[in-house]
Structure 1
Amino acid sequence: MHLGNPKFFYGVVPPALCTDAGGRLGVLSRAQWVMLSAVPEAMAAVGLLIPATRKPAATATALMFGAFTVGHLSALRRAFGPRGTPKARLIHSLRLPLQVPLILWAWRLRGS
């Protein structure tokens, strides 16, 4: 999805971090953040598949999903803001709670 449909993830990249959104902390564009975030996700997938690296990869994956929660909270706040749309409210209201089972799943893999 990061390469095939990167715009799908644009909403969860906080504008404050984006050069193309006038972010005060902007160091990369939204597209660059999305592409960059594909790297730890791919590394997590590979690390979880290898028994010898599963525990540290599971810990890192849980932390990664926890960090991504910040982006989901930002997206939800914007969805319910003045420029939010009903579609954005629905999408981000559903996406944010999905972080909890992902974090718990990754954390439980530490014992595998």
Structure 2
Amino acid sequence: MPRSERSPLLLAGLLATAGVAHFTRPRQFDAIVPRALPGSPRTWTYASGAAELALAAGVALPRTRKAAALATAAFFVGVFPANVKMAADWRHRPTRQKAAAFGRLPLQVPLVLWARGIAKDAEVRS
């Protein structure tokens, strides 16, 4: 399978895995929902998990890939405040956890670029 066909499937797999985790281990995600958001953290956890599952399906399907990949890039930007909150909350945790929390912050950039690249490739193919 060529790289251009594998890349969307890998991103879809990442999104699906994260989406399922929001339902199977919601407590860890509840803790990083910014307090400024209205409503219950669990509602936001489930909503973001459902969004990730929907995005995974959209990115996996060639017909919806471009729109879903662009939505995925926006989603990655949108969840950045939760990652910032996690890093701030975990600044006094053991080094390993702190490194994981702070390491997530710069990872958002390649995730956004990956999703945008998939959208661009999908545009060229259509």
Q: TM-score, normalised by structure 2?
A: 0.70
Q: Percent identity?
A: 35
Aligned CA RMSD, in angstroms, stands at: 1.7
- Larger displacement relative to structure 2 (60-69 or 4-13): 4-13
Code of the residue aligned with 2:43 in structure 1: it is: Q
Residue 73 of structure 1 deviates from its aligned partner by 1.2
Aligned positions of 1:1-112 closer than 5 A: 1-17=21-37, 27-80=38-91, 84-86=92-94, 88-110=97-119, 111-112=121-122
The higher relative CO (CA closer than 8 Å, separation ≥ 6) is in 2
Residue 72 of structure 1 deviates from its aligned partner by 0.7
Which aligned runs of 4 or more in structure 1 are off by greater than 6 angstroms? none
Unaligned runs of 5+ in 1: 18-26
Unaligned runs of 5+ in 2: 1-20
- Higher relative helix content: 2
- Equivalent-residue separation in structure 2 for 1:42 and 1:5 (angstroms): 15
Residue 16 of structure 1 deviates from its aligned partner by 2.1
Residue 40 of structure 1 deviates from its aligned partner by 1.3
- Equivalent-residue separation in structure 1 for 2:65 and 2:118 (angstroms): 7
- Equivalent-residue separation in structure 2 for 1:3 and 1:15 (angstroms): 20
Q: TM-score, normalised by structure 1?
A: 0.78
